[in-house]
Copies of this chain bind each other. A is one copy, B any other.
Amino acid sequence: MSDHVYKIVELVGSSRTSIEDAIATAISKAHETIRNMRWFEVVETRGHIEDGKIAHYQVTLKVGFTLESE
């Protein structure tokens, strides 16, 4: 976190297993098009319920990445 300029994008990742996996899923997908991602912050943790069980987690993230090439 030196003196670069960062851009922040907001993503929602899903997972049937855990909150951590939902975060990883969002970051992994974003990694296909965004280079130089540096940090994330969890904004919201939600999920869907089916038959009294958690069907999947949905975690909203802010992800920061450098605008400069390196």
Contacts of A56 in B (CB 8 A): 2-3
Q: Are A42 and B46 in contact (CB under 8 A)?
A: yes
Q: Are A58 and B1 in contact (CB under 8 A)?
A: yes
Contacts of A26 in B (CB 8 A): 5
A8-37 CB contacts (< 8 Å) to partner B:
8-16, 18-20, 23-31, 37
Q: Are B49 and A63 in contact (CB under 8 A)?
A: yes
Q: Are A49 and B37 in contact (CB under 8 A)?
A: yes
Q: Are A49 and B62 in contact (CB under 8 A)?
A: no
Tell me the bound Cα distance from A6 to B15 in angstroms: 13
Complex partner residue of A20 from B7, B18, B41, CB under 8 angstroms? B18
